[in-house]
Amino acid sequence: MFFKLKWFLPLLLFFTSCGLFQNPLSIESPEWNFSVFAQTFSEHYSLFEQKGIDWKAVTNLYRANVTSSTADTELYGILTAMIDPLDDGHVWLNAGSLGFFSTNNEVTADFWSFESKAESYISSAVNGDIFNWGRLKDAPGIGYINIDAMTSGLGGGQSLEPWVRDLDEVIDSLLDCEAVIIDIRHNGGGYAANAEHIAGRFTGERHLYMKSRIRNGASETDYTAFKEHWLEPRAPVYPGKVYLITDKFSASAAEWMTLMMRTIPGVEHIGTPTHGAMGMVSFHELPNGWIFSTTIGQTYDSAGISFEGAGIEPAVAITPVQTGDSAIEYVLGLY
């Protein structure tokens, strides 16, 4: 995951790992902390097969490097080396003063330096903490809403936040527009409930947008039954054309929203593929106090396709440019 404080997950589940196993060693023991870390992934991580990872072999390989005299810095290096090949945007290790490590190998300077160029296209743009909106200067009949995150703080996965309800008023003000652009580039996710609340304003019908299941046993084949995720319509429904813009940093609940919007007739998905980090996540604490995360869920669209790792391809691929905004220029060229 790209660790940005207002980026979170479609479903937050918390576990404390240190109580999972019988401990023959002291709580300070590097061997014990290694064992808890390795076994937690063994029992909870849901994408080993999809990632082509033999976790038992990985555990055996690195266990030989851990002894009672292994320093914290060495242990940190061993644990991060174990999970690095997962290349999973939802997997990370926070070792306090020793640092934070994310297995997301696509985090580059362009994420942190990203600045939306859309505002120069907007007439009387209104900027909020989570979302910005307005109408295009050269096409007042086209509305624009940029959503920076699907949440603004930690909490349960079903929280519906005040800013989401505020967005209802913005959508109401754009009901007369011929088209609306929903821009979720660099949106790292948040609460699924928030995404559903927003997407529901753009459909008059109920749509199955996703199926998911969660690891629930020691075997890598132990899963819950599939859960169906439905998008429910919410009135008044926006009646016009919708353009959804994504990029490679649209992740987690932003990708859930992408699946929601793609089920709706009249929505065109443009931009670049999303990130591909869509599974439900749990947080764990090692006996030594370090915090880490595991992806415990698998997600598929209504046709049974998984986008984990690869991301969701847009219907219209648009390459970003250094100056201007090629996605908005594409929409303007249609009107």
pLDDT, one tens digit per residue, over 170-185 is 999 999 999 999 999 9
One domain for residues 143 and 223 = yes
One domain for residues 47 and 194 = no
Please check the confidence at residue 120 and state whether its pLDDT lies above 90.
Answer: no
Q: Which whole number is the average pLDDT over 257-266?
A: 97
Structure confidence at residue 155 as a pLDDT band (50, 70, 90): very low
Asked whether residue 293 is domain-assigned, the answer is no
Would strands 131-136 and 207-214 be described as parallel, antiparallel, or unpaired?
unpaired
Torsion of CA 42, 46, 50, 54, to 10 degrees: 0
One domain for residues 123 and 47 = no
Mean pLDDT of all residues in the chain? Answer: 88
DSSP code for 67: -
Number of H helices, E strands in the chain: 9, 15
One domain for residues 160 and 123 = yes
Asked whether residue 292 is domain-assigned, the answer is no
Asked whether residue 287 is domain-assigned, the answer is no
Helix (H, G, I), strand (E, B) or coil at 227: strand
Helix (H, G, I), strand (E, B) or coil at 225: coil
Domain count, the chain: 2
- What is the extent of the structural domain holding 82? 12-102
One domain for residues 159 and 258 = yes
One domain for residues 84 and 185 = no
Domain CATH number, residue 189:
3.90.226.10
| pLDDT tens figures, 64-86 | 999 999 999 999 999 999 999 99
